[in-house]
Chain A
Amino acid sequence: MTPDYRWILDLIPVRHPIVLVDRVEHLEPGSHIVTAKAVSGGDLCYQGLAEGLPAERYAFPRSLVVESFGQSAALLWLGSTALRQQQTPGAASDRQDWVPLAGSLRQCEFSGSAYPGEVIRHTVRLHEVIDGATAFMSGETTADGRPLFRVGQLTAVRRPRGSITAPA
């Protein structure tokens, strides 16, 4: 299946300007997802750059590449759960206000950079979900087909929005 942009916004609570997935290109629920993010010179990260910089200084910030990967991982996990419930007659709805959070990253390597005009494409695989609250994933990212980033393990957790409160 190929979910649309509304589906993305329904599943992950991020909003402009930090929605870093533009399109879901393929979703195999419970298995893997392929997503795309188009890097634009209009992205907020390019505001305030000095004039006359060489093109290499327009490398899309790697922190945002990782965030984009993480959003893709959340779509795979939460989207798989939502689709399974839709397809199970009588199943209780799980569409409460979940907030997905990064728990940990391990063995992640960058091998290049992405630039305005290029498309970042993530492939994320879901390995295990424990008690519906913690998921283990891995994957790779390319920029216009070039290897960009590899994730050995991403651990994500999800919490009901109301349970996430700041300590007094």
Chain B
Amino acid sequence: MTGTPYARPLDAVDEMSVSRTDTGWILRIAKTVRRTDAYMSGHFPGLILYPAVFLLETVRQAAGRAVETAPDGWWEITTVRRLRLRRPMHEGHLLDLEVVLTPAGEGDPALTAAVTVRHGDQPVAELSLRLEPGAI
């Protein structure tokens, strides 16, 4: 397929590794905050910060690469149980995300995601999410 298979604001994953576990997947994701990414020049002029909501996009796109049960890797966030931002994500910061993905349960196509975000040795954010295949 030429082009992206679903609408998204930016490429929110630079690099990623996937480990399969007994209960699901562990993803390690790298994303650098860049003013040249779509939407970023306006958030904010003179003080570029990665919007906290784009962490949702990073997790969604990473799940699409790792878990093949959604068509064309199209997952949607359905629940944000918790998102806590501890410090701003500045231009040039290399964000290091660890995402623990777990199937929601027997007969349920959803995933739950427990996410920690760091910049170097600094904790940046924690998230707890639910995702479902986009076609549902």
Contacts and interface: CB of A to CB of B under 8 A. Distances in A.
B88 interface: yes
Interface in A83-114: 99, 101-110, 113
Nearest to A116: B7
Interface residues of B, number: 46
A113 B47 CA distance: 31
B79 A108 contact: yes
Interface stretch (A41-49, A120-128, A130-138): A41-49
Interface stretch (B14-22, B35-43, B100-108, B109-117): B35-43
In this complex, the interface size class of chain A, counting residues with CB under 8 Å from chain B, is: 35 or more
Given A14-B43, A49-B7, A61-B8, A109 B78 contact: yes
Contacts of B3: 48-51
B74 A61 contact: no
Chain A binding surface SS class: mixed
Interface stretch (A21-29, A30-38, A62-70, A139-147): A62-70
Contacts of B38: 17, 44-45, 47
A99 B9 contact: no
A161 B45 CA distance: 11
Interface in B4-62: 4-9, 38-47, 49, 51-54, 56-57, 60
A52 to B, nearest CB: 9
A77 interface: no
Contacts of A1: none
Most buried by A among B40, B81, B122: B81
Most buried by B among A19, A60, A63, A107: A63
Interface of B: 1-9, 38-47, 49, 51-54, 56-57, 60, 74, 76-85, 88, 90-93, 122, 134-135
22 contacts: A18-B51, A49-B4, A50-B5, A51-B3, A53-B5, A56-B134, A58-B7, A59-B134, A60-B7, A63-B9, A66-B56, A102-B51, A102-B53, A105-B82, A106-B80, A106-B82, A109-B78, A110-B76, A110-B77, A113-B76, A164-B47, A164-B49
